[in-house]
Amino acid sequence: MGTYRICMCFKRKYKVTEAGPPTDLKEAFKKYAEGGTQMTVEQLKSFLVEVQGESGALISDAERILEQVLQKRPHIAKYTRKSTLSLDDLHRYLFSADLNPPIGDKIYQDMTAPLSHYFIYTGHNSYLTGNQLNSDCSVVPIINALKRGVRVVELDMWPSDDAKDGVHVYHGWTLTNPVELIECLKSIREHAFSASPYPVIITLEDHLTPDLQAKVAQLITQTFEDILFNPQSGCLKEFPSPEELKYRIIISTKPPKEYLKAKSELGDNPQKGSDSDEDAWAKVPPDLTNDQEDDHMSDSDSSPDEDNDDCESRPPGACTYKSLIAIHAGKPKGGLKEGLKVEPDKVRRLSLSEQALEKAASSHGTDVVRFTQRNILRVYPKGTRFNSSNYNPRIGWVHGAQMVAFNMQGYGKYLWLMHGMFRSNGGCGFVKKPDFLMKVGPDNRVFDPKEKLQVKKTLKVKVYLGDGWLLDFTQTHFDTYSPPDFYTRVGIAGVPADKVMKETKIRHDNWTPVWDEEFTFPLTVPELALLRIEVQEHDISRNDDFAGQTCLPVWELRPGIRAVPLFDRKGKQYNSVRLLMRFEFV
């Protein structure tokens, strides 16, 4: 007889227990329920005011919460009425990301100031599905960005190779497959206001002849019709407000004469290169190099407000194209100091690469802040970010840059910061800049980002527990043979003095980890601080495994015990994964 081997493989069964209410909540319940096992709506109202910091809470708010909690209890009959909450009921409410989120979802800021007073959710090369070199161009990333609340969409326009009067959108001088301009415009029209009523700005990189510019003018006017904002007054003296521009489309690019002038000076067939400032036109000063939309300009170009040239010398329709440009882009002749000049009766947009902004911040930081009080500054990724990675947005925000342009199809912690910033103000895509960035003090002084400041506010964060991974992940996602070993990283992204990351202890072999740890964060500039939260699964043999993240604007954190939903690497919210945390300002 032969020998038979029997291999028996056993999968470990995980025992999952639901984490109960933390000690802080038990003590609070005991206090407000006055030692009983049930909390009345009157007692719940006191809890909301005194523990949750909801000073305006009414009995009606407590009654509404009671109804919501009871509806989520499947074992209670549909028509059963109950007028009190148990400790488990209260815990269930507090741990619900839908009912008790860490920030609000309402637009609450003043939206009547000029556009230059706001940070604006801005995309870079908005049509790319992946990397900067050979990914497809499509309307899909444009639609996804608009649905997320992005308010600035960038389109690179080039003559079509297969149609005499066609216009394509693609990343110039690369292998990216093009998409037709008209398809992009139609998608913007359809989805522009799906997430926000506030204006969508289309920044155009224009690589077209005057005839094709006239064609673009026709496409734009036919597509957007009466929702297109057309000031008909040349360069604006002051930007309108987001409120005035609700449900409007705004075009921003250079007035077309800069293209014609640069073309005549550089020749009809200038050498092609990337949009990084290393490969920009040689005549552009290195301290003020712009992306492709401004790279056509040379040192001898006139100021962008000097664009009242005679239209008679142009092909029919070119003046129509020019009249559609509501936010003029470009640079005056001269260097950085001249480029940041603030004119009393005209406003404009200036673009700088991330490296150029770093140089400007180093040598002319207060000039940048002063410029952004009236004008718009757009910052874009350096051309060597071929994989569509992003840069730290903080340096742009702290200098008042409104359009910190990001590759929204990318991923990583800097994109998480961008998502966090624009969760603010109801996710409408416009966030009012802090007052200190807009103030002008004695002797024309403005905020100096290099100045060392005193601590203004201290944030205390307590991480109680987490749950939901077993619902959103497979049992073997983190470890084949044992439950995961989770720990949480909590920190601040903001000015350098406030930047810090801290960690909880590792909780081994538990799908519902309880940490119950508190951290303190002194903040010098809380108005620009973002709370970073990451959960990792510890792996002794290799890199730790990602288990969720979120980023929250500190200035909008709701004090008290809150449920914090977590997101995947690309910013999509998990269905169930969340943390129970407490926020307190002292």
Question: d(Cα 544, Cα 565) in Å, to the nearest integer?
Answer: 21
Of residues 432, 494, 430, the one with CA closest to residue 457: 494
SS3 sequence of 183-242: HHHHHHHHHCCCCCCCCEEEEEEECCCHHHHHHHHHHHHHHHHHHECCCCCCCCCCCCCC
Check 91, 117, 124, 364 and give the catalytic one.
124
> Smallest Cα–Cα separation from 254: which of 317, 316, 304?
304
Catalytic (active site) residue 124 = yes
Q: Name the β-bridge partners of 203.
A: 154, 252
The rounded distance, in Å, linking the Cα atoms of 549 and 556 is: 18
User: Measured between alpha carbons, how far is 345 from 233 in angstroms, rounded to an integer?
Assistant: 13
Coil, helix or strand at residue 467: strand
**What's the Cα-to-Cα distance from 123 to each of 120, 224, 550, rounded to whole Å?**
10, 20, 20
CA distance 530 to 553: 5
> Which one of 91, 117, 168, 171 is the catalytic residue?
171
Is 508 among the residues known to form the active site? no
Per-residue tokens: 103 = 């920030």
Indicate the burial class of 300 (C-beta count within 10 angstroms; 0-12, 13-18, 19 or more).
exposed
Alpha-carbon distance 459 to 492, whole Å? 10
Tokens, residue 393: 């947005």
Residues with a catalytic annotation lie at 124, 171
